[in-house]
Amino acid sequence: MAIRRICITGEPVLHQRAQEVTEFNEELRILVRDMFETMDKAPGVGLAAPQIGVGLRVFVYDYPDDDDNPRRGVIINPILTVGPIVDEPADEDTEIEGCLSVPGERFPLKRADNVEISGVDLEQNPVSISAEGWFARVFQHEFDHLDGILYVDRLAEPWNEIAKDIIADNGWGKPGISWLPGKDKLEG
């Protein structure tokens, strides 16, 4: 297993739709193991393959429930059905989100409170999960990565403009910038 570098916004793989997984082989198993190790070291609650430079429709997640029961897994070639999104501004205290590809920054973003997600695991067994609250947010966030969308792309004003300024001030928004969890210290 290996910790992989996490791409920062501006890397082309982050801004294009990832390809369906067609080969379930040892290379995919290694990718998923590395994704878990990278997510854990970062630390994060989810990590999509494009975030480590791999344009495949795969993400891992680790988000325990309110009783600290583990909810950890991988979803390959997911399909996401999103519940309604309330048409009101995101709460700046309770609906704040961050991303390992925009490290150190957090902004409010309105998301659906419930989702249904399905796909397959590494053995191509069906996976189907109903999620609410923050667990639903994790799935929406990671699924967006597979479609080439970062959460900062969805921000309402004034947060959208503030995020763009921070990205520019950090010298991000161009190819070739990444960080290695556990090794690089990023300020933001």
Annotated binding site for Fe cation: 99, 141, 145
Q: Which residues pair with 58 in a beta bridge?
A: 76
- 3-state SS class at 28: helix
In the DSSP assignment, the letter for residue 152 is G
Q: How far apart are CA 12 and CA 186, in angstroms?
A: 21
Among positive and negative, which fits the CA dihedral 99, 103, 104, 107?
A: negative
- Active site annotation includes 142: yes
> Residue 90's closest CA among 66, 114, 106, 103?
106
Q: Are 151 and 99 in contact (CB under 8 A)?
A: yes
Q: Which of 26, 142, 157, 161 is catalytic?
A: 142
Token pair of 168 as six digits: 């520019």
- Which helix (H) or strand (E) segment is 32 a member of? helix 26-41
Question: How many Å separate Cα 98 from the centre of its chain?
Answer: 9
State the binding site.
99, 141, 145
Which residues carry out catalysis? 142
